[in-house]
């Protein structure tokens, strides 16, 4: 049985003793048994009531005439309409003091029932309002509201001119088709995040100057906003991380330019995780209250001449949260790059509203599940393909969600714009630049083992060997020849590196591997760690008379080469493979 709904009439109560009369506000008083109007000051009128639908706040657009008769306008937060708050108008020229404040407040409140109401919003992206999904952009879709912020996100120029540029400079060239699909993926992140559990799309374009990175960024931003560093969805690393986080908005793709400005030696692990999650760390106010940080769901394109991942820890989670496109020329030619920049400067803001309108149309038709179902289909298709190619690993399903957003975006863009992005080409482009397709790179323990070998290679002179006669100064461990052992992985090992607990921790920290226990656990499972069943540590001897707790790490033959211990440091076969060491030391 359905519950009966109660019909209730709500009346806005007005103060009948207070009024605005002949251009002044005042109060009626009983004098000699009759009501007399007592003026208190020049009247303040409500021109409009601004209703902010995203946070429920109201702002009163007030006007009055100052002592010179000049009209003054002020935007006044409704929550400040108190006897104390209204005194702020004194400085703007309003006739009010502590004795008359309550009368002025009442006179303004009395006008609210008849005032014109306009709806605005400061937030962008999808919202649940009045029990339905709406999109808040330059103009809201699904409800009536106008953007009140300072970003240049409205449509500008000619949609036909922008589309023609896309057809001639983007379609048929996979790198730019990929960037356009990433732009559309931002709005899908916002719409699908809670439905299918996706995170923000983070794409790094890493290449030298004059390879079209900036043009690609302009194309991405132009899908929703003006490609400009002023009042738009573009930032750079000269800004603070807090400022960057606060400037990113939901649904609208964001360009984070000049990653090369990231200070060398500064760890960006936390920053990349915050970008991926779309959530800034909470902070405490002076009153020790928790202040929420920025929140956003979108696609973020980072351009740089060097990879930001080089300044982050070696967490596998970063590999599945970041798509890195390295050493690619992103535009067909220099002329193409110039045209993309020129056209997008004057024609922008069309694609995101078109995608939003398409999604809202599906919602209103009761077909919101269409996109969810298609997203899941794409995920399944890509996982099957990965297994058929022998590239499936424990991280495939997580990274496939990121790829599926881009592929679904490309399909929607084709339908909406009537163009032909090469879906298969974009898939192959993603596969070619995947950070987790290579099992050795996806496995953090393998990356840590490679780094250990690189470290020993570079600092070989600081390691004891079986033939060492004297204890090395600043000794960091020992390289020991052993019998050939077959490991769990099927590899063979005939050398071990013995290091103390402190030394291994320092080595792993230098390589960006903060979780030593995770590495040791995996090494033990794979047979790389030679230890007892119930522990990681062993008794090791680096030099005669020097026994202490440490680790015995087996080195696979294919990693150590023919004879891990060279005759001299200069003959070390691993010297040419020290890129990572140099990067960490820098």
For residues 280-285, give the mean pLDDT.
61
Distance, CA of 586 to CA of 581 (rounded, Å): 9
* Euclidean distance between CA atoms 334 and 4, whole angstroms: 69
The reported pLDDT for the residue numbered 122 is: 95
Residue 572 has what pLDDT? Answer: 41
The pair of structure tokens assigned to 278 is 């779309």
Rg of the chain in Å (alpha carbons): 32
Classify residue 563 as left (phi > 0), alpha (psi -120 to 50) or beta. Answer: left
| pLDDT tier at 426, thresholds 50, 70, 90 | very high
Distance between CA atoms of residues 225 and 563, nearest Å: 59
**Residue 508: predicted pLDDT:** 85
Are 309 and 318 in contact, with CB atoms under 8 Å apart?
yes
Residue 365's Cβ-side half-sphere holds a number of Cα atoms within 13 Å equal to 10
Residue 528 has φ and ψ, to the nearest 5°, of -70, -30
- Long-range contacts from 377-385, C-beta under 8 angstroms, 24+ separation: 378/404, 378/407, 378/408, 379/404, 382/407, 382/427
**pLDDT band for position 260 (cuts 50, 70, 90):** confident
Instruction: Report whether 319 contacts 281 (CB < 8 A).
Output: no
The answer to whether residue 21 scores a pLDDT higher than 50 is yes
Task: Kindly report, residue by residue over 478-489, the tens digit of the pLDDT.
Answer: 888 888 888 888
> Residue ranges of the alpha helices (H) in 278-421?
316-321, 334-346, 351-364, 369-388, 396-417
pLDDT in tens, 192-204: 999 999 999 999 9
Judged by average pLDDT, the poorest of 144-158, 380-394, 411-425, 521-535 is 521-535
* Rounded average pLDDT over 181-210: 94
Q: Predicted confidence band at 31 (pLDDT cuts at 50, 70, 90)?
A: confident
**Chain length of the chain:** 586
Task: Name the phi and psi angles at 306, rounded to 5.
Answer: -145, 150
If you average pLDDT over every residue of the chain, what do you get?
86
What pLDDT was estimated at residue 292? 61
Tell me whether strands 146-147 and 117-121 are parallel, antiparallel or unpaired: parallel
Identify the pLDDT of residue 443.
75
pLDDT value at position 290? Answer: 55
Neighbouring C-alpha atoms within 13 Å toward the C-beta of 390: 0
- Residue 566 has what pLDDT? 40
The answer to whether residue 7 scores a pLDDT higher than 50 is no
Instruction: Mention every residue, 6+ apart, whose C-beta is less than 8 A from residue 315.
Output: 269, 444
* Residues 530, 527: Cα–Cα separation, whole Å: 7
How confident is residue 511, by pLDDT bands cut at 50, 70 and 90? confident
Q: What is the pTM of this model?
A: 0.80
């Amino acid at each position: 049985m359905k519950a009966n709904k109660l019909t209730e009439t709500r009346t806005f109560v007005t103060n009948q003793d207070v009024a605005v009369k002949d251009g002044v506000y005042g109060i009626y008083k009983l004098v000699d048994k009759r009501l007399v109007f007592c003026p208190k000051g020049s009247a303040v009128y409500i021109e409009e009531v601004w209703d902010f639908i995203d946070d429920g706040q109201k702002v009163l657009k007030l006007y009055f005439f100052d002592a010179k008769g000049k009209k003054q306008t002020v935007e006044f937060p409704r929550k400040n309409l108190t006897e104390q708050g209204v005194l702020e108008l004194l400085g703007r020229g309003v006739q009010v003091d502590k004795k008359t404040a309550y009368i002025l407040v009442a006179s303004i409140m009395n006008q609210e029932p008849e005032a014109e109401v306009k709806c605005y919003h400061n937030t962008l992206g999808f919202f649940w309002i009045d029990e339905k999904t709406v999109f808040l952009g330059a103009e809201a879709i699904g409800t009536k509201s106008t953007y009140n912020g300072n970003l240049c996100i409205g449509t500008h120029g000619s949609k036909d001119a922008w589309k023609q540029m896309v057809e001639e400079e983007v379609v048929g060239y996979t790198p730019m088709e990929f960037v356009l699909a990433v732009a559309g993926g931002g709005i899908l992140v916002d719409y699908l995040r809670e439905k299918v559990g996706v995170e923000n799309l983070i794409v790094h374009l890493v290449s030298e100057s004059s390879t079209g990175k900036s043009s690609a960024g302009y194309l991405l931003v132009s899908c929703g906003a003006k490609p400009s560093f002023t009042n738009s969805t573009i930032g750079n690393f000269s800004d603070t991380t807090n400022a960057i986080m606060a400037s990113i908005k939901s649904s609208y793709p964001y360009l984070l330019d000049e990653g090369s400005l990231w200070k060398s030696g500064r760890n960006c692990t936390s920053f990349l995780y915050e970008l991926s999650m779309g959530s800034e760390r909470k902070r405490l106010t002076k009153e020790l209250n928790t202040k929420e940080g920025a929140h956003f769901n979108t696609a973020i394109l980072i351009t740089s001449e060097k990879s930001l991942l080089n300044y982050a820890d070696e967490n596998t989670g970063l590999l599945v949260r970041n798509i890195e496109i390295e050493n690619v020329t992103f535009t067909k030619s220099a002329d193409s790059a110039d045209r993309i920049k020129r056209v997008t400067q004057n024609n922008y803001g069309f694609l995101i509203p078109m995608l939003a309108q398409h999604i809202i149309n599906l919602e209103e038709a009761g077909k919101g599940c269409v996109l969810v179902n298609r997203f899941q289909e794409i995920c399944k298709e890509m996982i099957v393909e990965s297994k058929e190619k022998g590239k499936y690993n424990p991280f495939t399903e997580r990274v496939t969600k990121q790829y599926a957003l881009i592929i679904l975006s490309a399909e929607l863009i084709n339908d909406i714009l009537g163009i032909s992005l090469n879906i298969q080409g974009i898939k192959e482009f993603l596969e070619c630049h995947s950070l987790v397709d290579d099992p050795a790179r996806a496995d953090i323990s393998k990356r840590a083992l490679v780094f250990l070998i690189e470290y020993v290679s570079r600092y070989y002179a600081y390691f004891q060997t079986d033939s060492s006669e004297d204890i090395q100064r600043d000794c960091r461990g020992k390289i020991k020849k052993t019998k050939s052992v077959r490991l769990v992985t099927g590899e063979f090992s005939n050398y071990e590196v013995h290091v103390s607990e402190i030394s291994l921790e320092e080595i792993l920290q230098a390589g960006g591997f903060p979780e030593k226990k995770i590495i040791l656990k995996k090494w033990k499972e794979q047979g790389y760690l030679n230890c007892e069943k119930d522990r990681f540590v062993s008794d090791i001897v680096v030099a005669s008379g020097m026994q202490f707790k440490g680790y015995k790490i087996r080195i696979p033959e294919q990693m150590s080469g023919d004879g891990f211990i060279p005759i001299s440091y200069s003959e070390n076969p691993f010297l040419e493979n020290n890129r990572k060491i140099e990067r960490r030391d820098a």
